[in-house]
Chains A and B, each alone.
Chain A
Amino acid sequence: MIINKSDIAAFLDSFRDEYRVFAPAVADGVSGYRILTAGSELTWQGLNTQRPPKEVLFPQSERLYSYEIGANGVQISAHYDDRKKVVFGIRPCDARSFHYLDYVFLGQEYQDVYYRKRRENTLLIGMACLEPAKTCFCTSLGGGPFATDGLDLLWVDLGDRYLVQVLTPQGKALVASKPFFSPASEADYRAAAAAEARARAQMLPALDLSRVKPWLDAGFNAPFWERVSEKCIGCAVCTYLCPTCHCFDLSDEAATDRFLAGVRIRTWDTCAFPLFTLHASGHNPRPTGKERFRQRVMHKFCYFVQNWGEAACVGCGRCVVNCPVNLDIREVLAQIAVQDAGAGMGQ
């Protein structure tokens, strides 16, 4: 299908009564997926936002429940968000990240009800990447600038219009319910195919990650970690901005000084911080930057693969772009790929 660019603001406005629309925008100097109050606010021209869209489903900070202790015991009320949402303009790499979050929050014995309610009520309208950045490496991880995984619709910018690829029944229903779409022509499809070929040609060659997991399996004690982690300052920006990083903290905030009412809060947390694993006894299984850096790499490219069959990385490049010391995960992976097999054997 085709939608004209002149109709985009009206298209976004048409959701307003029923859905909250999240789209890339800058607020307080930081780009991320923000709630649009009017379609005309959509001015984003860039590729990936600084903040990943995971916060639509998994906010950086959220109240899980409130409690109130009274004469009749304790009242506990959960705070669920089951409002309908549309994420507009999400990039294919970010859309794939939800698939990894699904493993963690929905794929185990217990279900994360908070995540699930948001996930089930969220439509994803993707935007194909015509000009991938130098820091993009989605093709190394099974993605691509026009990848459709996880999306309901994929839009391709054809200049004055978008070609709309319908990918799910929900996407189909959405297109059918709006008056802005018309059938695409043969020429539109040809233009989109050419755009995809150009985008793919612009990607840097994919990394060969086939040797990474086998080396990591045996490389826990390799001297390599000492070297490679040396310049990491432990700021954690790589994990906070990672669309697949899911670690969190739980804490209580009391609303009164006698703790009779308050809330349980969930906030993003990170393996890059020493407090993350510090025991009450003072013992810390990951006492230095070396262990913490190793954990990040191991979790994404070894443990996650072992548990779920895929690496927890979509190649969005946020950790590459935002690292203050230019510690590039692609270089780390490339170095791992050329390590001697068995270099880190033994306990």
Chain B
Amino acid sequence: MKNPYLPMPMRIERIGVETSDGNIKTFTLSFIRDEDRQAFRFIPGQFAEVGVFGKGEAPFGIASSPLETERVAFTVNKVPGGVVTTALHAARVGDIVGMRGPLGNGFPVRAMEGHDVVIIGGGFAFTILRSLVAYLIHPSNRECYGRIQVVYGAREPGLLLYKDELAAWQKRQDLELTLTVDRCTAADEWTGCVGVVPRIVEEIKPEAAKAFAVICGPPVMIRFTLPVLEKLGFAPERVLLSLEMRMKCGIGMCGRCNIGHKYVCKDGPVFTLAELSELPAEY
């Protein structure tokens, strides 16, 4: 019987500093055991518990593409006072960490087939959206989806993640990427939009009729984007959100991440707006 509490040992293969403030790093992990590498398959939007031995575990959305089966990447924001994120940020290439997963439901990529996809991300929450975009635009999947629009915002240019990838996406014909920042200075040499994400979405006016919208970002961004989507005609059943909660077990047993009778770890983290409106607003 599989023991869901035992972590897979993983080796840190690469550490990339994502943001100008140095607080966000991407850790690329490789499997130490062959059987783990062969068994680990996930869908975008799923997460894993990443642990530093002796320090503890924390849940992180998987940032890498599901079609990349050799490695798994996590982008980790160093939280003041956060034991695990601080320990991860102090880790070095070659160090061994633990990983349990994949956990949670992920995005309904099958149900989204045949639809346009509008992806709206803000700040550090873009990690799982990167995984989703990578999945959608992969040659084996791209034709299953219609128009793909991505709006991604950060407070300032230096805080955008995955800059090399964003530059590559901007050159693609089959992906409409809009980058925006809340503010910038001349020194940033910023050529994208300036303005908060909800306003940019309002300006772009994505077509709602055949589309799914996917939103990940800080609560304030979500709060102001939802009315915009509603005005554009997005049905609550086709608006997808990924929630964050304090978690421990990740498998619906330790009892802390529930919203009403649903557990974010196993019933989520992805919920439709329609599902969330049935639950108490306790998140």
Contact = CB atoms under 8 A, between A and B. Distances in A.
Interface stretch (B185-193, B204-212, B242-250): B242-250
Interface in B241-283: 244-246, 248-249, 251-261, 266, 277, 280-283
A291 B96 contact: no
B24 to A, nearest CB: 14
A113 B96 contact: no
B51 interface: yes
A251 interface: yes
B245 to A, nearest CB: 7
A78 B6 contact: yes
A69 B253 contact: no
Interface in B67-83: 79, 81-82
Given A69-B96, A74-B53, A248 B261 contact: no
A220 B252 CA distance: 22
A249 B51 contact: no
A307 interface: yes
A318 interface: no
A15 interface: no
Contacts, number: 135
B218 to A, nearest CB: 9
B282 A248 contact: no
A264 B282 contact: no
Question: Looking at chain B's contact residues, is the secondary structure mostly helix, strand, loop, or mixed?
Answer: loop
Contact of A269 (B53, B252, B254, B280): B254
Contact of B56 (A74, A252, A298): A252
B53 A251 contact: no
Contacts of A73: 9, 32, 96
State which size class the interface on A falls in.
Answer: 35 or more
A4 B73 CA distance: 66
B79 A285 contact: no
State which size class the interface on B falls in.
Answer: 35 or more
A229 interface: no
B55 A276 contact: no
Question: Looking at chain A's contact residues, is the secondary structure mostly helix, strand, loop, or mixed?
Answer: mixed
A223 B55 CA distance: 41
Interface in A254-292: 254, 259, 262, 264, 266, 269, 271, 276-281, 283, 285-286, 291
B1 interface: yes
Given A69-B96, A285-B282, A347-B281, A280 B255 contact: no
A76 B6 contact: yes
12 contacts: A65-B6, A73-B9, A110-B253, A111-B4, A250-B5, A252-B57, A259-B53, A269-B255, A278-B246, A279-B244, A279-B245, A285-B245
Pairs A-B, 4 closest by C-beta atoms: A259-B54, A254-B54, A247-B255, A303-B261
Interface of A: 64-65, 67, 69, 73-74, 76, 78, 104-105, 108-114, 116, 220-221, 246-254, 259, 262, 264, 266, 269, 271, 276-281, 283, 285-286, 291, 295, 298-299, 302-304, 306-307, 347
Given A113-B1, A276-B246, A303-B258, 4 more contacts: A108-B253, A116-B1, A248-B249, A285-B282
Interface of B: 1-7, 9, 32, 51-58, 79, 81-82, 85, 96, 98, 219, 244-246, 248-249, 251-261, 266, 277, 280-283
